[in-house]
């Protein structure tokens, strides 16, 4: 079953029911920890909080992944959705 985050639905498919919130999960993470969860819409595979408290999203496969800054990623998604790229 595909799962979609609230943040994905808010940007790309308003009104589509979401399964979880990236921000809610990140809020409860301790620095240095991560939570494995797939957002089919964004293509992310995990949410983390780095040692400075910044939220990160993992992309790729579990064997070969990269972490991206959540705030920068969401800004780019909003720009793409609004045709600014």
Q: For residue 26, what pLDDT band results from cuts at 50, 70 and 90?
A: very high
Could you tell me which of 71, 76, 64 has the C-alpha nearest to residue 50? 71
The answer on pLDDT for 1 being more than 80 is: no
Domain boundaries, the chain: 6-81
C-beta of residue 20 within 8 angstroms of C-beta of residue 9 = no
**How confident is the model over 2-17, as a mean pLDDT?**
94
**How confident is the model over 19-34, as a mean pLDDT?**
97
pLDDT 10s digits, 28-83: 999 999 999 999 999 999 999 999 999 999 999 878 899 999 999 999 999 999 98
Does this model's pTM top 0.75? My answer is: yes
């Amino acid at each position: 079953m595909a799962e979609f985050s609230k943040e994905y639905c808010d940007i790309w498919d308003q009104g589509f029911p979401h399964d979880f919130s990236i921000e809610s999960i990140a809020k409860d993470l301790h620095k240095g920890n991560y939570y494995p969860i797939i957002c089919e819409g964004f293509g992310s595979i995990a949410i983390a909080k780095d040692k400075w408290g910044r939220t990160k999203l993992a992309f790729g496969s579990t064997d070969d992944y990269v972490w991206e800054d959540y705030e920068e990623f969401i800004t780019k998604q909003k720009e793409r959705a609004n045709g600014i790229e």
